[in-house]
Structure 1
Amino acid sequence: MGTVANPAPLGLAGFGMTTILLNVCNAGFLPLNSSVLAMGLAFGGFAQFCAGMLEYPKGNTFGFTAFASYGAFWIALVMLIFLPKFGLIAPASPAGMAVFLGLWGVFTAFMFVGTLKANRVLQFIFGSLIVLFALLAVAEATGNTAITRFAGFEGLFCGAAALYLAMAEVLEAQFGHAVLPVGAPAPTPMVTTSMRVAA
């Protein structure tokens, strides 16, 4: 059997590029537009969800859960915008959006614990994503646009880190060695134990 491709760069790129695009709007550089929704549905949503499914046969529980979940998040976010426009359901209230974003922040906090054995860039992605969800939830709850703007700038760093890690993994696969530093954790020392067998 040949080498199996690593789906993580696809998921990271989908997450990173969509996060950057959305937060360009949150930061006030552009209004929310169809480019964000299209990217969120196709790349951040569908492609990232597919990356999660491809992690499943590899036995990567963390990758499967993360990519499938955040892919579903982007699809849900697009649906939150589209469904009211078709008259299928009332728009989410600010309180509803605050709870929605807050729950994703809690989920991300649990997932962050799983990154503590991974590289530093992945830790930064999840750590900054917790902050991003918290800021956006507070902005929705209070209606404070200044917080949304600040969250946009913070989200740009989060998305850029994810895109950086995606490219680092692609280049490593292409060249057969690390090209971009990601702050790999120190290897766990081998622990030897001896077991005395009674005669």
Structure 2
Amino acid sequence: MESKLGNPAPLGLMGFAMTTILLNIHNIGFFPLSAVILSMGICYGGLAQIIAGILSFKKGNTFAGTAFTSYGFFWLSLVAVWLLPGLNMEVAQATPPDFLGLYLALWGIFTAFLWVGTFGKSKVQQFVFFSLTILFFLLSISLWTGNGTIHKIAGVVGVLCGSSAFYLAMAELLEEVKGKRILPY
């Protein structure tokens, strides 16, 4: 009996997309950081992307497996960075802005290499990784400089990045469901 594994990319992309959009609406300044963002970071941005990554590895797609599992663990670690100081453990103090900037810059470097891996793939996929690279570096710079304007600009870039991932997820999902390309990507 042959088992056919579906495309896990729409799940991973949606986990990334919706969580990224929500966090960056906060970064722009529309809403405070709240349980909505933290819950999405754990459940959909984190766990759903990890599941999509594991399934991507099973399908033989090392790029998607690495990207989805890495960003799933990014979301879990980011939520932990925010929540652990509230546990009043001596070793889990609040992260200084400069160090959080370094954390995000490392993710920016990682993402820049993944962006190079998208060359020759769809333009939308290239845009997702390019805009995510820019987002990580803008957030780093805003933390290093304390510049709120750069932070808001990063939020706009993040909403665009998340929206492009949302579009790509729907394009891939609809193509599989309808058996033909519905949305160009």
TM-score bin (small chain): over 0.9
Q: Deviations over 1:5-39 (max 9, x none)?
A: 00000000000000000000001111111100000
Sequence identity percentage: 50
Q: How does 1:78-93 map to 2 (within 5 A)?
A: 78-88=79-89, 89-93=92-96
Tell me, yes or no, if structure 1 residue 137 matches structure 2 residue 136: no
Aligned length: 182
Tell me, yes or no, if structure 1 residue 113 matches structure 2 residue 116: yes
Match of 2:22 in 1: 21
List alignment gaps of at least 5 residues for structure 2: none
Match of 1:163 in 2: 166
The Cα of 1:130 is off from its aligned counterpart by 0.6
List alignment gaps of at least 5 residues for structure 1: 183-199
Match of 1:64 in 2: 65
Q: Deviations over 1:91-122 (max 9, x none)?
A: 11011101000000000000011100210000
Q: Deviations over 1:58-117 (max 9, x none)?
A: 110100100000000000000001100111211110111010000000000000111002
Q: Distance in 2 between matches of 1:178 and 1:164?
A: 13
SS at match of 1:117: coil
Q: Deviations over 1:131-156 (max 9, x none)?
A: 00010000011111111111101110
Based on CA coordinates, which of the two structures has the bigger radius of gyration? 1
Deviation >6 Å, runs of 4+ = none
Q: Distance in 1 between matches of 2:37 and 2:59?
A: 31
Match of 2:154 in 1: 151
The Cα of 1:3 is off from its aligned counterpart by 3.0
Give the alignment's TM-score, normalised by structure 2.
0.97
CA RMSD, Structure 1 to Structure 2 (Å): 0.7
Q: Deviations over 1:37-59 (max 9, x none)?
A: 00010000011011000011111
Give the alignment's TM-score, normalised by structure 1.
0.90
